Amino acid sequence: MSLKVGAHVSVSGGVEKAVERQKEIGGNCGQIFAGSPRTWSVAEYTDEEGESFQNGTRDEGQNPYVIHSTYLVNLGTPKDDLFEKSLNCLQSELDAAEKLGVEYVVFHPGAHTGSGRKNGIQRIAEGIDELNIPEGVTLLLENTAGKGTTLGRSFGELREMIEKSSTPEKKLGVCLDTCHAHAAGYELREKEGFQDMIQEIEEDLGLEKVKVLHLNDSKNEKGSEKDNHQHIGEGNIGEKGFKNLVNSEKFEQLPMVLETPVTDEKGYSENLAKIKKLKN
């Protein structure tokens, strides 16, 4: 079975340009931002733009797509103003996904910033329930590296957020980021450790909840809690880790999205080629 693998591409110059950029690097699924990732602004797309993007992705066989939420979103915050801003931003991104025919919106759950783990998780669940998740769109919580008061480093914590929410479970899922998992202490390189991670996902979350994979190698050691992405096979996860992943029957049908570095020497096309080469 051929892999569903693509990369996070720019929408600069118009959202339909993302389809061309994905084609250039050899991707058959992908991820975009619906605005500037370091601001609260989210683009409002016209019906024409939505149609153009959907036609493009269909014609090129690129599916599914993911919208990655802005980095400012924090549903775990005890601060009401930041909570409201986060909700408004996420809602705009969900609405953009509906317009563009994008299946998934992924966000980092957030940090409790001192209010405590229990309160932070409860706050995230309450935030999810405030959102209107459109038909055909699934909201995904991304696992985190676990630094500071960040929530969502374990699959059990992600499950708690989903369970405490009263939003229908079919509207919610998880995006598994390899660099974050490695930074949080999960073993991807050794067969036994990798199987332990799979078992934890099965027991603490449910494998059916994982809808998308973010493939990123890591510049740091396992358990470092540092989120520094590296080219596939050149970091501390290494080729062995990604070989385990792309050949795992548990994950092989999932869309895999690269967020690896883009430099003058190497970009997404080389990283995509490396992933395809690791598939048995």
CA angle 29, 172, 114 (to 5 degrees): 110
Element housing 211 (H / E): strand 210-215
- Determine whether 112 is an active site residue: no
| Mean of all residue pLDDT scores within the chain | 97
Element housing 129 (H / E): helix 117-130
Catalytic residue among 8, 112, 159, 229: 229
- Determine whether 38 is an active site residue: yes
Task: Classify strands 217-218 and 229-230 as parallel, antiparallel or unpaired.
Answer: antiparallel
Instruction: Please count the other Cβ atoms lying within 10 Å of the Cβ belonging to residue 258.
Output: 29
pLDDT bin (cut points 50, 70, 90) of residue 2 is confident
- Determine whether 264 is an active site residue: no
> What is the mean predicted confidence (pLDDT) over 43-59?
97
- Determine whether 196 is an active site residue: no
> What is the mean predicted confidence (pLDDT) over 98-114?
98
| pLDDT of amino acid 70 | 95
Catalytic residue among 93, 95, 187, 259: 259
- Determine whether 8 is an active site residue: no
pLDDT bin (cut points 50, 70, 90) of residue 67 is very high
Catalytic residue among 214, 217, 231, 268: 214
Percent of the chain scoring above 90 in pLDDT: 96
Give 259-275 pLDDT, tens digit per residue: 999 988 899 999 999 99
277 pLDDT more than 70 = yes
Catalytic residue among 21, 108, 153, 231: 108
Catalytic residue among 157, 160, 227, 268: 227
The tally of domains found in the chain comes to 1
CA distances from 59 to 18, 82, 272 (A): 13, 40, 21
154 near 109, Cβ under 8 Å? no
pLDDT bin (cut points 50, 70, 90) of residue 102 is very high
5 pLDDT more than 80 = yes
Catalytic residue among 142, 157, 160, 187: 142
pLDDT bin (cut points 50, 70, 90) of residue 214 is very high
- Determine whether 182 is an active site residue: no
pLDDT bin (cut points 50, 70, 90) of residue 176 is very high
In angstroms, the CA 241 to CA 222 distance is 12
3-state helix, strand, coil in the chain (%, to 5): 40, 15, 45
* Residue carrying the six token digits 């374990």: 154
- Determine whether 142 is an active site residue: yes
**Residues in a beta bridge with 66:** 31, 104
Catalytic residue among 8, 16, 45, 68: 68
Give 181-191 pLDDT, tens digit per residue: 999 999 999 99
| pLDDT of amino acid 1 | 57
CA distances from 165 to 182, 268, 277 (A): 27, 36, 40
Report which DSSP code applies to 101.
T
Determine the distance from the C-alpha atom of residue 169 to the mean position of all C-alpha atoms in its chain, rounded to a whole number.
18
Q: Which amino acid is at 45?
A: Y
Residue 104's domain is classified under what CATH number?
3.20.20.150
In angstroms, the CA 268 to CA 225 distance is 25
Report which DSSP code applies to 107.
E
pLDDT bin (cut points 50, 70, 90) of residue 135 is very high
- Determine whether 129 is an active site residue: no
> Which of 39-43, 154-158, 261-265, 271-275 has the lowest average pLDDT?
261-265
Catalytic residue among 8, 123, 159, 180: 180
φ, ψ dihedrals at 94, nearest 5°: -65, -40
> What is the mean predicted confidence (pLDDT) over 2-22?
96
Structural domain span for residue 92: 5-278
Give 221-243 pLDDT, tens digit per residue: 999 999 999 999 999 999 999 99
In angstroms, the CA 252 to CA 49 distance is 32
- Determine whether 177 is an active site residue: yes
> What is the mean predicted confidence (pLDDT) over 201-208?
97
